[in-house]
Amino acid sequence: MTATEQPVTTTEAAVRIGTAQGRWILAAAILGSGMAFLDGSVVYVAVRAIGDDLGASLADLQWVINAYLLTLAALILLGGSLGDRFGRRRVFVVGVVWFAVASAACALAPTAALLIGARALQGVGGALLTPGSLAMIQASFCAEDRARAIGIWSGLAGVTTAIGPFVGGWLIEVASWRYVFWINVPLAVAVALVAGRHVPETRDPQAARSFDVAGALLGCLGLAGITYALIESGDGTWTYAAGAGGVAAFAAFVVTERRRRAPMVPPTLFASRVFNSTNALTFVVYGALGVLMFLLTLQLQVVSGYTALQAGVALLPVTVLMLVLSGWSGALAARIGPRLQLSIGPLVGAIGALMLLMVDGEGSYWTRVLPGVFVFGLGLAALVAPLTATVLAAAPDRYAGIASGVNNAVARAGSLLAVAALPVAVGLSGDDYRDADAFSSGYRAAMVICAVLLALGGAAGWWGLRRTSTSALTT
């Protein structure tokens, strides 16, 4: 079968992982989602250079991270619905092109405000392409190959997230932070060509004809209001108004979704204990991951005196561990069930976060940084592939796009709210990212909170996946 043949439904999927077409589908999905994941992490190491160049405050830098996460989290469900209705490959390619154009706007931004706006537009492109990348795999591969394909996707796409700080540091060192965004343009062209030529079109023939635009807007307003209130906590009346407006928008979202004939998220998805618990785990784990990456890269530069490139290289062990172990982790979970890895993985990550308390201006990389980074990377490698496969397996095949969208939305919302809330909670604001003493104190408190969040994720995995068998990853 070629990409030019008639669209197929999920139930007709029969592509095998070892075939040429199977490899092309994986390549398109990994490169496309990897582009979005890379941009979600590569900016972490660039924020200090951005702040220095554009005269930005810590709150501005939080918005540079969160504007992208905001639109991505709020619209990713709509992106999944659009893919199920109009074709997953088609919407995926539109998202790739949109992402490239927004990336160019980010690279050209002359002020922090314009960069934040361009980052929000970039998140819209990510919302279109991210659910489609995984849904193409779920809908195209035969059932017995899906867990392995998802493991490969999770591992290599996760590597792009982990390698982001290194790529960002190198680009800043040899050119400028603007090339962190320019790099997306040629990559997007390659992804669009591969997907258009080699990926079969799939869609859900039972997908709703109408789209829940009101739900998407209310979700976006809710996240925006709460995020603003958390970041701008010292602004008095406006802060309270934004927070109250965000809560009201979320309440309206719940009411609207319950009354719609075709809501963004079918209520039947939440009848599954496995689906609910793995998404709860996703929320707290990715919240901890977002804050840890944001503050650790700044700690290395502000307190330890690393350059942007050195800070990126310092996190390379996470990349190596994800690359080497994620495929094995997915295969192991398919044999023994996902509960053990989704319980122990976050706990190992929590130990790594506590070990990263040693990162300061003293000692060497080998004794202060590497041990915590290595242990944290082990935890991520253990849980990422089984987590993704378990979420998708808990939903009917016809809801592949929506299930992927829900899990991605939960992950981005976790990072969004944590990056907004934790720096303020630990007393970081203004120009603290230029003051080693002030920043280091807040960093240490944040690492303890990250460890607690990861431990809570492990508890959610242990409790929510009791009596879950290997069939959770193969059906």
Kindly state whether residue 9 falls inside one of the protein's structural domains.
Answer: no
Same structural domain, 320 and 463:
yes
In tens, the pLDDT along 80-131 reads 778 878 888 899 999 999 999 999 999 999 999 999 999 999 999 988 888 7
In single-letter form, the type of residue at position 103 comes to: S
Number of domains making up the chain: 2
Report the CATH number at residue 353.
1.20.1250.20
Kindly state whether residue 12 falls inside one of the protein's structural domains.
Answer: no
Kindly state whether residue 351 falls inside one of the protein's structural domains.
Answer: yes
Residue 305 phi/psi, 5-degree rounding, is 80, 20
Residue 197 phi/psi, 5-degree rounding, is -95, -35
Kindly state whether residue 275 falls inside one of the protein's structural domains.
Answer: yes
Kindly state whether residue 155 falls inside one of the protein's structural domains.
Answer: yes
In single-letter form, the type of residue at position 120 comes to: A
DSSP lists the bridge partners of residue 141 as 15
Same structural domain, 65 and 150:
yes
* Closest C-alpha among 385, 429, 339 to residue 151: 385
What does each of the 475 residues of the chain score in pLDDT, given as a tens digit?
333 333 444 445 577 777 878 888 888 888 888 888 777 778 888 888 999 999 988 889 989 998 998 888 888 878 877 887 888 889 999 999 999 999 999 999 999 999 999 999 999 998 888 878 877 887 788 777 777 787 788 767 766 766 777 778 888 888 899 999 998 999 899 999 988 888 888 877 766 666 677 777 888 888 888 888 888 766 667 777 888 888 898 888 878 877 777 677 777 777 788 888 899 999 999 999 989 988 998 999 999 999 988 988 898 888 888 778 877 888 888 888 888 899 999 999 999 999 999 998 888 899 999 999 999 999 998 988 788 778 878 877 667 667 777 887 888 888 888 988 899 889 888 788 888 888 999 999 999 999 999 999 999 889 888 765 544 444 3
Burial of residue 267 (number of CB atoms within 10 Å: 0-12, 13-18, 19+) = exposed
Kindly state whether residue 370 falls inside one of the protein's structural domains.
Answer: yes
- Indicate the helix (H) or strand (E) that contains 310: helix 308-314
- Whats the size of the chain, residue-wise? 475
Measured distance CA(42)–CA(33) in Å, rounded: 14
* Closest C-alpha among 127, 47, 118 to residue 302: 47
Same structural domain, 234 and 287:
no
Range of the domain at 217: 213-259
Same structural domain, 230 and 108:
no
In tens, the pLDDT along 239-295 reads 778 888 888 988 888 788 777 776 777 777 777 888 888 999 999 999 999 899 889
* Closest C-alpha among 305, 309, 71, 320 to residue 167: 309
Same structural domain, 330 and 288:
yes
